[in-house]
Amino acid sequence: MGGGAVTALISRATAPVKLFFGPRQTRRAFRCSALQPPDVPRLAETARISLSPKEVEEFAPKIRQVIDWFGQLQAVDLENIEPSLRADNEVGVDPRQDQPVEFENREAMLAAVPSYEDPYIKLPKVLNKE
Amino acid sequence: MALVYFRGIKTSHLRFPLITPFPRRSGVPFCVMRSLDTQTRTPTDNPKGQVKADTSDQPKTLERNTSGFETIIGIETHVQLSTLTKAFCGCPYTYGSQPNTTVCPICMGLPGTLPVLNSKVISFAVKLGLALNCKLSMRSKFDRKQYFYPDLPKGYQISQFDIPIATGGFIDLDLPLEFGGGHRRFGITRVHMEEDAGKLLHSETGSHSQLDLNRAGVPLLEIVSEPDMRSGVEAAEYAAEIQRLVRYLGVSNGNMQEGSLRCDVNVSVRPIGQSKFGTKVEIKNMNSFSAMNRAIDFEISRQVNLHNQGQADQIVQETRLWEEGSQRTITMRKKEGLADYRYFPEPDLPEVVLTDDFVDSILSSLPELPEMKRRRYEGMGLSMQDVLFIANDVNDAEFFDAAVEKGADVKMAANWIMGDIAAYLKNEKLSINEIKLTPQELAALIASIKGGTISGKMGKEVLFELISKGGTVKSIIEKNDMVQIVDPSKIEALVDKVLAENPKQLEQFRGGKTKLQGFFAGQVMKVSKGKANPMLLNKILIEKLNAKS
């Protein structure tokens, strides 16, 4: 497993443990509750990444580290601060107008599809979602 | 990175419903408590022969009484927006394009790409939110909903989770008279923006699946209803009203066959008096309103049956498919616990900020909506049947309004549109604005008939010429010498002529065979080339027939 996958796993690790976006908990609740240690096998499963038991052992402390770092952020007192959805809402750019632009390099893009059977992208047989 | 920014940031009242215990699935479960007493309702047992029997006898046995049970129905509707480009890239989208022709690195989910929101998606969402009487979120955001399925190559869908753009509205509708009639108001939980996925094709025999990504990234609005519907008819009419609404607003073509309007229906039943909700079952794959109606009524019967047989535990939370061929629902997949979508805010898109000015400009540009039209037509004296017909199609309604504005008699205009014009349109598969007849000429035609210039029968001939060739009522009447004969002396002369030419029949009539009056009337009409005023003709004819007896 390469470095990119580690980043992916860590970034994906944040959501399931509901660090900052958990819909069922308020920010205030976070500050009071201790952060749970990561369930690495489950995180790997939700990210569709296969990990060997050894890798799980290896990643657990690394992910734990990241979670602890968020734990520090959670400790900041935000009692009187208006919540912000984004950090960058002062930047103004015109929204995109609804005018079609065809992508010119489509052929090259489709040529890079690993399994293509004109005009479809060919996939292993999939039937059930979720 | 672009910021969606509509003429200034609005800083006042920032709503932040992060505490809402919203379910992980974007749909609303039936655990949302709500009083069920809102309006008088049709009884929940409404099979009305909706469940058609097929070769297997199961549907037949399902057609049974559902009394003693209460049905709760909620609907998630996906409306595909009729924008020219996709939600987050400039790719054009046209239904039926060659597979994989309208794609780019963004909608194909290639690494390193960034989405840029189509401004039209916001204005359409605001339009629909206002039309559904919702409260708008002046600040909302996009979220990532993770799921791994090849129809969405990014591995997540850009959607809205905890702060949808519109919440807490309602929709009004009138049930058709053939289903008992009545007015209904159904709650709207939320409306949110999201992107569509690509289309997967699974061949019956093939060892692989095929993917077309043209539809990936096309903007959708998901409308989640409150669980307010109680029968298949109510659910189908709710969906029909949503279709009417999006067509009136011009935000979608609402075409169910093409998948521009897709409904997922959640159905649960419980014995009346039980406070706990029954297990909900989701039904998909209904591509017409009548299929929705039948699928739901079938599902209600199926669940009530299981209750009655003491097998309520066999109702499990699952997704069932409507099978048009066998007229029944079948298991598609059982839910293995709730899927973990791991929503989090989409970091590549700025928040969506609405200003009062922007909302006001959309509010003032809203057209007259179906409900307003129906109430206005009712006030004009049209029967509910006429009201529902005319207001059903936005083109018909606009045509009718224009004709009435040109002075057409309200009832007569409705009759022409619903009668001969509708029959022609249906036959030719055309819309009323695709024919040469103009509202102005329909008004002129009605005036000519009302004023006695031409007969109703001639009016039909004029109408068909107007529809197929265009032109004016006046020119067609003159060209075809159609002006009705209303001069009594001229009609009298025609009657005299006919009586003189048919002495035998006249004798029979006077001998008591009064049925022959029709024969004489027909003869007079014939010699007048259909132009004699029928009322005058009959009056004079009766006088003459009875005069010398």
Q: What DSSP string runs through B446-511?
A: HHHHHTTSS-HHHHHHHHHHHHHH---HHHHHHHTT---B--HHHHHHHHHHHHHH-HHHHHHHHT
- Is the pLDDT score of B6 beyond 50? no
- Is the pLDDT score of B252 beyond 90? yes
Is B3 a member of any domain? no
Give yes or no: residues B443 and B517 share one domain. Answer: no
Is B473 a member of any domain? yes
Amino acid letter at B421?
Answer: I
Cβ-contact A98, B118 below 8 angstroms: yes
Asked if residue A119 has a cis previous peptide bond (ω within 30° of 0), the answer is: yes
Chain A residues 61-120 with CB within 8 Å of chain B: 82-83, 85-86, 88-89, 91-103, 106, 109-110, 117, 119-120
Give yes or no: residues B103 and B174 share one domain. Answer: yes
Q: Report if pTM > 0.90.
A: no
Give yes or no: residues B117 and B233 share one domain. Answer: yes
Query: Of B479, B503, B536, which marks where a domain is finished?
Result: B479
Q: What is the pLDDT of residue A29?
A: 41
- Please name the member of A109, A123, A125 whose beta carbon is closest to the beta carbon of B105: A109
A89–B212 CB contact, under 8 Å: no
Is B520 a member of any domain? yes
Q: Total domain count for chain B?
A: 3
Give yes or no: residues B321 and B436 share one domain. Answer: no
Q: For residue range B298-351, what is the model confidence (pLDDT) as tens digits?
A: 999 999 999 999 999 999 999 999 999 999 999 887 765 556 788 999 988 988
Please tell me the distance from the alpha carbon of residue B176 to that of residue B183, in angstroms, as a whole number: 9
The H or E element containing residue B387 is: helix B384-392
Please tell me the distance from the alpha carbon of residue B481 to that of residue B280, in angstroms, as a whole number: 68
B118–A86 CB contact, under 8 Å: no
Is B384 a member of any domain? yes
Q: How confident is the model at residue B65 (pLDDT cuts 50, 70, 90)?
A: low
Residue appearing with tokens 């990175």:
B1
- Please name the member of B16, B116, B339 whose beta carbon is closest to the beta carbon of A83: B16
SS3 B281: strand
- Is the pLDDT score of B30 beyond 70? no
Which two three-digit tokens encode residue B113? Answer: 């790409």
Which two three-digit tokens encode residue B213? Answer: 């990504």
The series of mean pLDDT values per 10 residues for chain A, 130 residues long, is: 42 39 41 67 86 93 90 88 67 76 94 93 74
Determine the distance in angstroms separating the CA of B338 from the nearest CA of chain A, rounded to an integer: 10
Amino acid letter at B549?
Answer: S
- For residue B105, what is the nearest residue in chain A, using CA coordinates? A109
Q: Which residue has the higher pLDDT, B53 or B224?
A: B224
ipTM of this complex > 0.85? no
A89–B101 CB contact, under 8 Å: no
Dihedral (C-alpha) B108, B114, B115, B117: value to the nearest 10 degrees?
Answer: -150
Strand pairing partners for B282? B266, B319
Please give the average per-residue pLDDT across B420-431, as a whole number.
95
B103–A103 CB contact, under 8 Å: yes
Interchain contact A130–B (C-beta under 8 A): yes
Q: How confident is the model at residue B493 (pLDDT cuts 50, 70, 90)?
A: very high
Q: Where are the domains of chain A?
A: 3-74
Interchain contact A18–B (C-beta under 8 A): no
Q: What is the pLDDT of residue B323?
A: 92
Cα–Cα–Cα angle for B483, B489, B490, rounded to 5 degrees: 40
Please give the average per-residue pLDDT across B103-128, as a whole number.
96
- Is the pLDDT score of B28 beyond 70? no
Is B448 a member of any domain? yes
- Is the pLDDT score of B205 beyond 90? no
Which two three-digit tokens encode residue B204? Answer: 């019956």
- Please name the member of B9, B18, B90 whose beta carbon is closest to the beta carbon of A89: B9
Query: Of B324, B358, B392, which marks where a domain is finished?
Result: B358
Is B527 a member of any domain? yes
| Chain B environment of A15 (Cβ under 8 Å) | 146, 342-344
Cβ-contact B80, B276 below 8 angstroms: no
Q: What is the pLDDT of residue B297?
A: 94
A128–B119 CB contact, under 8 Å: no
- Is the pLDDT score of B106 beyond 70? yes
Interchain contact B162–A (C-beta under 8 A): yes
SS3 B225: strand
Please give the average per-residue pLDDT across B89-94, as a whole number.
96
Q: What is the pLDDT of residue A12?
A: 41
Interchain contact B473–A (C-beta under 8 A): no
Q: Which residue has the higher pLDDT, B549 or B506?
A: B506
- Please name the member of B91, B98, B351 whose beta carbon is closest to the beta carbon of A89: B351
Is B9 a member of any domain? no
Q: What is the pLDDT of residue A70?
A: 87
Q: Edge to edge, what strands does the sheet with B199-202 contain?
A: A116-117, A120-124, B208-212, B199-202
Please tell me the distance from the alpha carbon of residue A124 to that of residue A116, in angstroms, as a whole number: 12
Give yes or no: residues B455 and B503 share one domain. Answer: no
- For residue B152, what is the nearest residue in chain A, using CA coordinates? A129
A88–B21 CB contact, under 8 Å: no
Please tell me the distance from the alpha carbon of residue B245 to that of residue B172, in angstroms, as a whole number: 11
Give yes or no: residues B323 and B284 share one domain. Answer: yes
Tally A–B CB contacts below 8 A: 163
* Mean of all residue pLDDT scores within chain B: 86
A14–B344 CB contact, under 8 Å: yes
Domain that holds residue B101: 46-337+354-358
Cα separation values, A107 from A119, B114, B195, B220, Å: 11, 20, 24, 27
Determine the distance in angstroms separating the CA of A119 from the nearest CA of chain B, rounded to an integer: 6
Chain B residues 88-147 with CB within 8 Å of chain A: 90-92, 98-105, 108, 110, 116-120, 122, 139, 141, 146-147
Which two three-digit tokens encode residue B114? Answer: 């960034």
A106–B101 CB contact, under 8 Å: yes
Amino acid letter at B26?
Answer: S
A15–B342 CB contact, under 8 Å: yes
| Chain A environment of B165 (Cβ under 8 Å) | none
Give yes or no: residues B448 and B325 share one domain. Answer: no
Is B516 a member of any domain? yes
Interchain contact A26–B (C-beta under 8 A): yes
Give yes or no: residues B265 and B238 share one domain. Answer: yes
Q: Which residue has the higher pLDDT, B52 or B443?
A: B443
Q: Which of B98, B104, B127, B336 to mutate to test the interface with A (most CBs of A within 10 A)?
A: B104
Give yes or no: residues B321 and B380 share one domain. Answer: no
- Where residue B521 sits, what CATH number does that domain have? 1.10.10.410
Name every residue whose Cβ is closer than 8 Å to that of residue B354 and which is 6 or more positions away in sequence: B6, B10, B122, B126, B136, B137, B138, B139
B117–A96 CB contact, under 8 Å: yes
- Is the pLDDT score of B542 beyond 60? yes
